[in-house]
Structure 1
Amino acid sequence: MGFVTNVYERTYRDVLSPGYVAGIVSSQRHQMDEVVVLINNVDSRGDAAERAENLVRRGEITSFAFVADHIDSALATAGIGRRQLGKRPYLVDFGLVMPHVLSTRWLLGWDAESRLVDPQNWIEPAIDLMQADPRVFHVSLHRPARTEWEPVLEREAAERRGRYIYNWGFSDHVFLVERQRLIGAQFRTFAPAAVVRHAPHPYTFEFRMESYQRAAGLFRATAADVHYDTNTSPPGVLARTGGSRWDDMRIRALWQFGWTVLDRLPSAFGPRFKRYPPDLPRSSRTAR
């Protein structure tokens, strides 16, 4: 079992302080064979490396890696070029590199600013589920929506299986996946429904993975009774990276397109085009 978390300029000093990563790992209540910190887009590579090396010496992580050192081989494996990373490559490249800095069968990707509300071993039953149901690409945890604009887990349910709610979404906050399946994910796939859902935060690893899952008909299974929380204080992707008035216009246009076209397509069009399960009553939906 391997744990990997991504850090960058805004977060690496806090995350690479003694006890931070160890606390996240300990909360999983599951043995980790590898604990890797992935470092991306920092101003001082030397400072980040020194802090990470200290954690290795303390035994809190097993290793660390820089995205820049692995991205070329990861792109070659994925069969795409740097141009396919889009306008903001640092929002995608870390996800491509993650499975290449571990050697374990299972990979737990964990956003460094997220935490389990109630520490517990949710990993073992999640692995059992993925082994029993190959339609499940990855397992995630539940972060209850804070506003009416956020996705609500029950609203997007395509299927339920015990504690797990299936849908086609993807979040890089928490995802447990078989490493080789992540390596084999097709980053060239396109799903109009994913474009609509990710209109406010395009170009991301999350968007690419959701597009792939929808095109391949693969599910995210969310453990509805296991909650996590995360830092929501930073502004959205576009606001942080220089969004423009044109971006605002594009978001409104995509949302309008989603309501007027995609949601009215016949159910036969499937998850690539349908944001919600075909049989979900329109009255239970919320605008995004």
Structure 2
Amino acid sequence: MAGQVDLVVNVFERTYRDVLTLGWWPHLTNSIGYPFTKRVALINNTDDPADAARLADQLVAADEIDEWHYVADHVDAALATVGLSLRDLEPLAHFSDCALVALALPAGSPFMAYWDADVTLDQPCDWITPSLAMMASEATVIVANPSWDDAEAVAEASHTVGDFVVGYGFSDTTFLCERARVLALPWRGPMAPASYRYPLAHVAAIFEQRLDSAMRRTRLQRATYLPARTSHHGTVGTQYPHAGFTSRV
């Protein structure tokens, strides 16, 4: 399946100056070691969208990314694809709109690797190739991701398949999926009780919770590739950089 996966990274006010700088994308793609079809930057919730666009254009010119998009330009179409409205995402729309747009981008490759700007691989590792093979061989696996914590991943899993542990659960920090299959899930409807464990569930049903719930309701699972491990370096809740701390979390 080589050549069928896009790498998508969303940037916002706190992260865009770092991510949209020369060298950041080659470092990420070299650490993964997979030949992505397209490297795509999404620009979302910035104080100066024109400045972010200027930096993104420089990366396109340098062949470090292939394209970039404003999330705002595609969010209505993405919401329509999954049968949601912007009201369904409020008051935390920016925790969901970027990932929905990433899934529904026009002319996207069949598979997408979504990568949080604050995440790094602890060691270089091509987790994409074995994950594609895993999803092709296991019909119940709809997403795959590197390990964030081996002990926690094993504890949450129901069984092991080779280097993977498989079970219910979802995180939007880093994941691989087949776009059409995920978009076809039931995004609207009652939340699975277990999905209320997410920290923001009392405020809004964000992308992470909605996808986790849809997977549980359709008995679909994720596969965590234990040989690849990630670290998260950012501050939770800063998609809204001007909000107070209690609003952000």
TM-score, length of structure 2 as denominator length: 0.89
Give the superposition deviation at 1:86.
2.5
Structure 1 Cα separation of the partners of residues 12 and 22 of structure 2:
17
- Aligned residue for 1:76? 80
Do the aligned residues in 1 keep the contact of 2:13 with 2:239 (CA within 8 Å)? no
Instruction: Output aligned runs, 1:10-29, within 5 Å.
Output: 10-29=14-33
Structure 2 Cα separation of the partners of residues 239 and 80 of structure 1:
21
Q: Say yes or no: does 1:157 pair with 2:180.
A: no
Structure 2 Cα separation of the partners of residues 27 and 243 of structure 1:
33
Structure 1 Cα separation of the partners of residues 230 and 39 of structure 2:
20
Instruction: Output aligned runs, 1:172-187, within 5 Å.
Output: 172-187=172-187
Structure 1 Cα separation of the partners of residues 47 and 240 of structure 2:
20
Q: Which residue of the other structure, out of 185, 194, 209, is the alignment partner of 2:211? A: 209
Deviations 1:74-120 (A, max 9, x none): 11111111111131101111111002235211100011111111112
The amino acid that maps onto 2:16 is: Y
- Aligned residue for 1:273? none
Instruction: Give percent identity, aligned residues only.
Output: 33
- Aligned residue for 2:222? 220
Deviations 1:105-160 (A, max 9, x none): 11000111111111122211110110111100100111127xxxxx8112211121
Do the aligned residues in 1 keep the contact of 2:192 with 2:213 (CA within 8 Å)? yes
Instruction: Output aligned runs, 1:98-109, within 5 Å.
Output: 98-101=102-105, 103-109=108-114
Deviations 1:19-38 (A, max 9, x none): 10221112111101100001
**Equivalent residue of 1:211, what SS?**
helix
Give the superposition deviation at 1:244.
5.0
Give the superposition deviation at 1:63.
0.2
**Equivalent residue of 1:37, what SS?**
strand
**Equivalent residue of 2:109, what SS?**
coil
- Aligned residue for 1:90? 94
Q: Which residue of the other structure, out of 134, 138, 144, is the alignment partner of 1:139? A: 144
Deviations 1:216-241 (A, max 9, x none): 11101001221111114x24569974
Do the aligned residues in 2 keep the contact of 1:113 with 1:231 (CA within 8 Å)? yes
The amino acid that maps onto 1:199 is: P
The amino acid that maps onto 2:35 is: Q
User: Which protein has greater RCO, CA pairs closer than 8 Å, 6+ apart?
Assistant: 2
Give the superposition deviation at 1:180.
0.9
Point out where structure 1 has 5 or more consecutive residues left out of the alignment.
Answer: 146-150, 249-288
Structure 1 Cα separation of the partners of residues 13 and 179 of structure 2:
26
- Aligned residue for 2:71? 67
Q: Which residue of the other structure, out of 119, 125, 140, is the alignment partner of 1:114? A: 119
1:76–1:238: structure 2 CA closer, same or farther, 3 Å change rule? closer
Which 4+ stretches in 1 moved above 4 angstroms? 235-245
Bigger drift between 80-89 and 44-53 goes to 80-89
Q: Which residue of the other structure, out of 50, 74, 82, is the alignment partner of 2:54? A: 50
Do the aligned residues in 1 keep the contact of 2:75 with 2:101 (CA within 8 Å)? yes
TM-score, length of structure 1 as denominator length: 0.78
Structure 2 Cα separation of the partners of residues 90 and 99 of structure 1:
15
Point out where structure 2 has 5 or more consecutive residues left out of the alignment.
Answer: none
Larger radius of gyration: 1
